[in-house]
Chains A and B, each alone.
Chain A
Amino acid sequence: MKKLICFVFLSTILFFYGCDGGISPEAEDNRPHDAAGFGGTVSFKGSWPQGVTRTHIVAFRNPLVSAGDFNALNLAFVSDSIPFGVSGIVYSSLVNPQLQIKAGKYAYIAVAQSKTPALSLDRKDWFVAGVYYASGDTATPGTLVIPENTFVGDINITCDFNHPPQQPPGGE
């Protein structure tokens, strides 16, 4: 009987050793990327503020050091609107962007929200819910570099409504 138990046990070990881990992610290389872009996740913590009419991922070329830096020329990317109330999304700048990004260097990537009924480019109408930080440095906004014909992943942003990030100058 002991031999039988040992046989069953060893057979089981060998059987599982021969198994792989099941379903695995499709390799990124197998996916078509004919344009430069970036992507990652946005996660939301806490309750969404009431009255928010639109939420977008935005990218600016230069740092926002004054109210004047919040302008259409500095703005390089605007994502499709993020649905109100979600706990998180996976995004790609290549999918339905309102303003397409190009290869280059970007100093400020953020999730911005607005409460105005109509789309506005006035700095006062926007507040920042979350900022992209590189390598865990939450003191300085992270810089994004997108090489030509390259998709940069892992640009993850956390929006904590209970602890919003430092707001760029010019807001209310």
Chain B
Amino acid sequence: MRRILILMLLFSGAWNVAAQTGTIYGKITDLKGSPLAGANVVVLGTTTGTSTDTSGTYRLSGLKPGIYRLEISMIGYRKSITGEVELRKTPVELNFTLEETALQSKQVVVTASKYEQQLSELPVSASILSSAEITNRNVVSLDYALRYAPGVNMNMDQVSIRGSSGYSRGAGTRVLVAMDGIPLYTGDTGEIIYEIIPVTQIDRVEIIKGAASSLYGSTAIGGVINVITKSIDEKPQLYLKTYYGLYDHPSYKEWDWSGERRPFNGQTLTHSNSFGSLGYVVSFTRSENLGYRQDDYYKRYTGFIKTDYRLSRLSSLTFLGSYLGQNRGNFIYWKDSRHALQPRDIDQGQKVKSNRYMLALMYSNVLSPDFFLKLRTSYYRTRWLDETSSHDTSTTGLLEGELQSSYRIMKSLFVTSGVEAGSGKVNSNLFGKPGSFNIGVYLQTELKFSFPLRLTLGARYDFSRLDTLKGFGSFSPKAALNYALSENTSFRASVGKGFRAPTLAETFTSTTAGGIKIKPNPHLEPENSISMEIGINHRFSSFIASDIALFQNEYYHFIEPGVDPVDGLVTFRNLTRARIQGLESNFTFSLIPERLLLSANYTYLWARDIEKKTPLKYRPRHQALASLNYYSGWLEFGTDFRYWSKIEALDFELVDLGVVTDGDKRVPVYLLDFRTGYNLLSLGLPGKVFLNINNLLNYNYIEIIGNLSPIRNASLSLEFSF
């Protein structure tokens, strides 16, 4: 009886729908009249949509009679929204022509100056990583995605822009990483915990190259990475993602410590919706990786919430919350090159448990068309515990706040000013119980002339104090210009001072780690830099674009770990007077318009300690990156090639001391990644499937001493959006 009832219900429903619904159908073509397969057709204000087939045709059935607007979109083409279409019972035919957008650099907007500007108008070098570039590579943590950004290299989890950083095992960063403008360095070590950034919620990542302390203060000595989260959709949306992957067997039998292919997997569930003035997005991710190396596993849970409350037409209040809970192994150095995937005996079983959360409240108000105000405050709490014999632990709270105003005094003069302050407190057996305080005020003006020149002048003063130590101030001015030589060519130049205050970890650490004794240094001073750059951006045609920059950075009082000759203990000291010069060139080619895109980058770095006349550690002299992407209807393919030359210098003292056996082993690096994706809309499912193979050639290399980087691994990921 139940089956009959169900059949009756189904039948009556089908009849009902057939009787009361209509159809919109048509064909999508490009300007040449060629059909476009895989174009998305969505009925605005609903969740109904479809895609065109190989002949470029689409059909939207089951629509109730009414008035509709359709949105047609496709990668590489300008989005098109139709006028209102009245649908009755008879089918309606709607054909569209999409216009190619070719290279879209002019549309890209960045917030390098704390307000939105077009990329081509910036007076400094910048790169953008889009949401698609992150998702398509099945990136599980932002630091992996940064490896594909031009001019950026990662030394394990420490980011370096144009050679700004070496590797100091998490103590301090010379690049300010922020999420929607909120700094994400921890209060104790000053490191960036990338895992707390929800990768599926990233709209874009803006990478500003060169010292930006005149606007962002300490830690922006090498540049700024600002993660912009997605805006909240007005329609209810559910997003699901799951992936499963395996590491291949290592290249050598000696390295196959487990005898099995090590798996990794993850799941993400996101929901967003809006009710009147309130919009929200909630996301939860679980991920697990058993690790290609022994004791290099992790299991983590991340949560993210964002709410946006529109107080009025011109003001809003945004709340951000991000959480990370993680249990992971702690691989420090390999045992030796014959056991490159196993830790030293002394480090066996190392594991760390951590809980971190960040809460932020942001208020923005457009007081007039020429004046807007932003106020933000955030609290970032981190706690970690080394669960092995040392039982090292640290709990930190970091409170930050910023008030920013932007005022267009006249058509040609725009002023941004603000005040930013932070206070931190640490409780740790490694660092003691010190506190920290910093405050900075800044002012930046942008002058627009009648001829196409933009001149930016700015300065910031910072005062920092660590616990009871004497505080220090730093003044960071900057001057920059952007001159549009023609519609397709712009020239830029900048000079500015950068600085970085020492972190609590660099100043107060007292421990024995991996057989090395580290002692505190309360006499540490801030490190400074002078950063200079000239660059030119030129579009040869709609399909070829280039950007070339020459830069020089002078560093003073560089903070680096070193051995104190008096007692032989390791300590952080203002050791180095360094110079980094180089060239960065980027080219983008549309080989087959809107189908085959090639981007290529080459960076040359000459990074030297000019007193010792030795190369700086972990700065490869040559670095190249090439990405080839092919789109064809439902299918897409992509491949990335990365090369960097053999690192000239690393921590040789660890080899000499016998801490890292075979630690001087390093090679030039050739990495090839491959990916392919398929849009399941062709099957009527609102999702995509991706296959990613990273390190396809199973090339064995290091980023830091005694740590073999990930071997070949493959993953399959599925994502659905309802």
Contacts and interface: CB of A to CB of B under 8 A. Distances in A.
A91 B339 CA distance: 11
A89 B258 CA distance: 11
A26 B699 contact: no
Contacts of B591: 1, 4-5
Interface stretch (A16-24, A100-108, A110-118, A141-149): A16-24
Contact of A90 (B339, B667, B708): B339
A85 interface: yes
A35 B273 CA distance: 71
A86 to B, nearest CB: 4
Contact of B257 (A1, A12, A21, A41): A41
Contacts of A12: 641
Interface in A3-48: 4-5, 12, 15-16, 19, 21-26, 28, 31, 41, 43
B254 A25 contact: yes
Contact of B294 (A26, A82, A85, A87): A87
B701 A22 contact: yes
Contact of A23 (B295, B345, B665, B670): B665
Contacts of B252: 24-25
B345 A89 contact: yes
B672 interface: yes
B460 interface: no
Contacts of B667: 22-23
Contacts of A43: 257-258
Interface in B308-349: 335-340, 342, 345, 348-349
Interface residues of B, number: 37
B348 A25 contact: no
A23 B697 contact: no
B592 A1 contact: yes
B583 to A, nearest CB: 22
A22 B339 contact: no
Contacts, number: 77
B338 to A, nearest CB: 4
A89 B349 CA distance: 9
A90 B345 contact: yes
Interface residue tally on A, bucketed by range: 20 to 34
Contacts of A19: 670, 697, 699
Interface string A77-91: 000001101111111
B8 to A, nearest CB: 54
A66 B641 CA distance: 63
A25 B708 contact: no
A23 B348 contact: no
B575 to A, nearest CB: 29
A52 interface: no
A67 interface: no
Contact of A83 (B255, B339, B348, B592): B348
A43 B256 CA distance: 12
Contacts of A90: 257, 335, 339, 342, 345
A59 B711 CA distance: 35
Closest 8 CB pairs of A and B: A22-B700, A86-B349, A23-B700, A86-B348, A25-B338, A22-B699, A26-B337, A90-B339
Interface of A: 1, 4-5, 12, 15-16, 19, 21-26, 28, 31, 41, 43, 82-83, 85-91, 95
Given A15-B670, A22-B670, A82-B348, 14 more contacts: A1-B592, A21-B697, A21-B700, A22-B669, A22-B700, A23-B700, A24-B700, A25-B340, A26-B337, A26-B338, A26-B662, A86-B349, A90-B257, A91-B345
Interface of B: 251-252, 254-255, 257-258, 294-295, 335-340, 342, 345, 348-349, 389, 591-592, 596, 641, 662, 665-667, 669-670, 672, 697-702, 708
